[in-house]
Amino acid sequence: MDKVIQNIVTKDSLVKALRDLGVEENMILEVHSSLSSFGFVLGGARTVVDALIEAVGESGTILMAVQTGDNTDPSGWSKPPVDPKYWKMIREEMPPYEIGKTDLRGMGDIPDNFRHRDGVICSSHPAVSYAAYGRYAKILCNRQSLHFPLSEESPTARLYELKGHVLMLGTDLTTCTCMHLAEYRSERKPICIHASCIKRPDGTREWKRYLDLDLDSDDFEQVRPAMEKKGLIKETMIGDCKASLFAANEAIDEAMHWFEKTSIYEFYR
């Protein structure tokens, strides 16, 4: 027998829960989400996006990572990897990146709904782009460097400067894209070369190489105890979803402290 729906999340109940959590009008929110974590949402991803926009009001801003991880060189694929015999074919047949058209990978239904809304602005990176809506959308997404794309020329750095917040809806810190800024600033990761397929101005395609750090979000949850000890994280339940709210700059600073203390380079300072 199928499980009976016992708890329904609506737009009004979601807005109220966000207000109780501390989301206010005029806020700048980087949002990471899992639609399935809520249980049953009446209206699905559309309802969540509508509630987020209403919660921050006309003067607020919503920012979401809309990464297109399939548009990368197949030699670096994992979860799952691909047989090397297909690398050449993938490189030759990969469709070039196009804003709003290239499929997201592992981001979920909420960011996909959000990026197609009228008035949403997307940054142009072919693999790790962002989408933003609201007052500061252009400032956040106006420029994102091809090289080191989550570093100082990125929506992540602008979020830090504008003292924005991060809202986690059913996800943990391993999905918190802005915390990668701490990896750049703590200089703890080696440089590597990535590539993505892009469209040239004449319509032809090419694989564009770019430099980045060997980023890894698996360590981000290690920062949580320090944040909780300092009372930096507010939490509540929305339906079956655990929701968390914290200041982006405080999370990034705490991550930097943790990285610097645990880096092998610290032993030589």
Other Cβ atoms within 10 Å of 206 Cβ, number: 12
- What pLDDT is recorded for position 242? 95
Whether pLDDT at 267 is above 70: no
Average pLDDT of the residues in 79-93: 92
DSSP type of residue 152? S
pLDDT tens digit string along 188-234? 788 999 999 999 989 899 999 999 999 888 889 999 999 999 999 99
**Are the CB atoms for 198 and 64 separated by under 8 Å?**
no
The residue with tokens 């490189």 is 91
Question: E-assigned strands of 159-204?
Answer: 165-169, 191-199
Q: How far apart are CA 111 and CA 105, in angstroms?
A: 11
Phi, psi for 158 (deg, rounded to 5)? -65, -40
Q: How many CB atoms lie within 10 A of CB 90?
A: 16
Pairwise CA distance, residues 55 & 21, whole Å: 11
Calculate mean pLDDT across residues 104-122: 94
- Work out the pLDDT band at 143, boundaries 50, 70, 90: confident
- For the chain, the domains span 8-69+99-178+220-268
| Whole-number pLDDT of residue 4 | 81
pLDDT at 265 over 70: no
Please tell me whether residue 167 adopts helix, strand or coil conformation.
strand
Residue 215: phi, psi to the nearest 5? -75, 150
Q: Is it the case that residue 131 has pLDDT exceeding 70? A: yes
Q: Which residues contact 186 (CB under 8 A, 6 or more apart)?
A: 255, 256, 259, 260, 263
Alpha-helical (H) ranges within 57-177 are 87-93, 109-115, 137-141, 155-161
- Check residue 264 and give its pLDDT: 56
Q: What count of residues does the chain have?
A: 269
Average pLDDT, the chain: 92
Residue 268 pLDDT: 42
Cβ atoms 49, 16 nearer than 8 A: no
